[in-house]
């Protein structure tokens, strides 16, 4: 499911199969820097290009920027208290007509007691929970050594994202509504060489039944290589490089890409075109968003399962369609407002687009 990055969408303005801008947005607004787990970095939408998949659209939403290759001991789980969504507008009014909602669950082994080892001998022996993600090698077939297990559910909502009709997307093999997410690439001793890890990750591509859609789709959620390349230091140091150096194609790889060793977490869907369209309309739009509950009370005696108690209505805190709009177009006073807004209300940001600084 890891695919070429062909088309990105701001609101509702891409045709099925069209190509567009290629870019990313990382830490683009002040408030989202506090919550990297719900920071969307990319959104891509394009007609699938595999020989037998021409009647499908691939939707890719990436989250959690700047993942270092060796990011232990906690690595980069998605937030179980958040709602991750991919929205589709198929009638051109800037409002979602379909929404795919991802929710995540992270559990410790042994019913959240955690994997444990016996330390000491005889009367001095004690069973002690380990501080790490795993206690040995991991494969899809053998999860016994895995301490933190990640899974997710997926729903499709038709109509308004909060008041529309929501139904479970299920595994075409067996009908389960719960899907396993592959563990992040901890390293070679835990998950093998990169080729072995890639095979392991691909075992988490699922054929899925989408309600009210006669043809199955596919879904994958997992860690992937960072696809964006930029020299962040000079760019945000008042573009500290000669203009000709930046624009000359021959210099493209002359400066090391600091993101080359980083990863992101991908939420990827492949959906039949017929299930996304409205009638004969061949133009659709899409974007991704992440929301959290409006209230959070910190647990004074936190556990793995309950470090806090979250409640209240969902509040959108991250939004991405066309990358870099919020990062380099929207003014600093309105960046958080943009992340909380919806495409139908984008006229309020028109001055930033018509008079770019």
252-311 tens-digit pLDDT:
777 778 888 899 999 999 999 999 999 888 999 999 999 999 999 999 999 999 999 999
* Domain coordinates in residue numbering, the chain: 38-110+127-226+261-323
Greater pLDDT, 212 or 281 = 212
The residues pairing with 290 across neighbouring beta strands, listed in sequence order, are: 84, 318
Reported confidence tier of residue 23, pLDDT bands at 50, 70, 90: low
Greater pLDDT, 322 or 209 = 209
Residue pair 334/351 in contact by the 8 Å Cβ criterion = no
CA within 13 Å, CB half, 148 = 21
Average pLDDT, integer, range 110-139? 95
pTM metric for this prediction? 0.92
pLDDT of residue 182: 97
Token couple for 92:
């051109």
130-170 tens-digit pLDDT:
999 999 999 999 999 999 999 999 999 999 999 999 999 99
Reported confidence tier of residue 24, pLDDT bands at 50, 70, 90: confident
Cα(323)–Cα(203) distance, integer angstroms: 30
pLDDT of residue 110: 94
CA 59 from centroid of its chain's CA atoms: 11
Lowest mean pLDDT segment, chosen from 124-128, 134-138, 267-271, 320-324: 320-324
Cα(141)–Cα(217) distance, integer angstroms: 24
- What residue ranges in the chain does DSSP mark as E strands? 14-15, 40-47, 56-67, 82-89, 98-108, 116-119, 126-129, 148-158, 165-168, 170-171, 179-180, 206-209, 217-225, 263-272, 283-298, 308-320
């Amino acid at each position: 499911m890891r695919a070429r990055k062909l088309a990105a969408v701001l609101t509702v303005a891409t045709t099925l199969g069209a190509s567009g801008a290629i870019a990313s947005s990382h830490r683009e607004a002040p408030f989202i820097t506090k919550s990297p787990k719900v920071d969307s970095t990319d959104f891509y939408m394009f007609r699938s290009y595999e020989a037998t998949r021409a009647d499908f659209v691939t939707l890719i939403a990436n989250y959690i920027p700047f993942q270092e290759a060796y990011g232990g001991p906690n690595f980069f789980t998605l937030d179980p208290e958040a709602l991750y969504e991919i929205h589709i507008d198929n009638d051109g009014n800037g409002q979602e007509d379909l929404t795919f909602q991802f929710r995540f669950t992270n559990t410790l082994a042994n019913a959240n007691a955690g994997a444990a080892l016996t330390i000491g001998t005889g009367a001095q022996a004690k069973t002690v929970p380990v501080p790490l993600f795993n206690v040995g090698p991991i494969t899809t077939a053998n999860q016994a050594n895995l301490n933190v297990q990640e899974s997710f559910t997926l729903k499709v909502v038709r109509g308004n994202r909060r008041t529309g009709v929501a139904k479970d997307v299920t595994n075409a093999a067996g009908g389960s509504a719960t899907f396993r997410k592959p563990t992040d690439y901890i390293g070679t001793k835990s998950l093998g060489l990169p080729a072995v890890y890639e095979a392991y990750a691909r075992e988490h591509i699922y054929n899925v039944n989408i309600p009210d859609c006669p043809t199955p789709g596919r879904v994958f959620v997992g860690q992937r290589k960072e696809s964006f390349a930029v020299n962040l230091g000079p760019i945000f140091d008042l573009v500290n490089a000669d203009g000709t150096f930046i624009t000359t194609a021959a210099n493209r790889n002359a400066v090391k890409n600091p993101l080359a060793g980083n990863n992101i977490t991908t939420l990827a869907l492949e959906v039949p075109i017929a299930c996304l369209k409205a009638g004969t309309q061949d133009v659709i739009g899409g974007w991704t968003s992440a929301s959290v509950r409006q209230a959070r009370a910190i647990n004074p005696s936190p556990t793995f399962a309950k470090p806090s108690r979250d409640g209240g209505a969902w509040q959108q805190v991250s939004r991405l369609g066309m990358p870099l709009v919020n990062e380099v177009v929207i003014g600093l006073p309105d960046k958080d407002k943009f992340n909380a807004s919806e495409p139908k209300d984008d006229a309020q940001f028109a001055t930033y687009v018509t008079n770019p600084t």
